[in-house]
Structure formats: C-alpha cells, structure tokens
Amino acid sequence: EVKEPKDITLEVVKKFRVELSRGEMKKSTQSYYIIALRNFLKYLSKNDIKTLTADKVELPKTTQREIETIRYSDLERMLAAPNGNDIRSLRDKALLELLF
C-alpha cells in the first residue's frame, strides 16, 4: 500500500500493471495510466520529493493502429454536398475545403 511517495517502488508499479491488465481496458488505455504515473513521478522529482524516478518506469509496447484513408471519390462527393448559396451551405463548404 502506498501512503507516501517514497513507497512507490518498481514492485508497486509492477503490481499496478498487473491490476490494469486484469481489467477489460485496452492496451492503449493501460499505457495512458502508465504515462500519467510517469508524469506524476516527474512532478514529484521536480519538487524534490523522494520517490521512484520516472525513467525507471517503462512504457508498455503498443502496436500502431492502421488509419484508413478516405477514397478520392468519397472526398469529391463530400466536398460537393454543400451546394447552395445560403450561409449554412457556404459555411459547410468553407469548413470542408479547409479540412480537405
């Protein structure tokens, strides 16, 4: 049990990781927890509070997710959708052209 920052050890972090992996959260979510922990440890270190150094906590390996790109025909269709001259259509067209 951690009651003070000095109680945070590699063993405690290892147990924390095991607890995270027992849940139903994705690996990427688990990584965010570890990133938050590392940032907290960096904060403690900057404020001269004795604890485990952040660089001793390794980030879990995660795979890059594939990003699906939009097909050119779909992009053309989307850009042609706002075809009126009213303010809403002009706004939508400007936003789409800015984004794509």
pLDDT at residue 65, rounded to an integer:
78
Express each pLDDT in 29-84 by its tens digit. Answer: 999 999 999 999 999 999 999 999 999 999 877 777 788 899 999 999 998 999 88
- The model's pLDDT over 12-36, given as tens digits with 9 standing for 90+, comes to 999 999 999 998 888 889 999 999 9
Domain chopping of the chain, boundaries: 5-56, 68-100
Burial track 53-89 (b if 16+ CB lie within 10 A, e otherwise)? ebeebeeeeeeeeeeeeeeeeeeeeeeeebeeeeeee
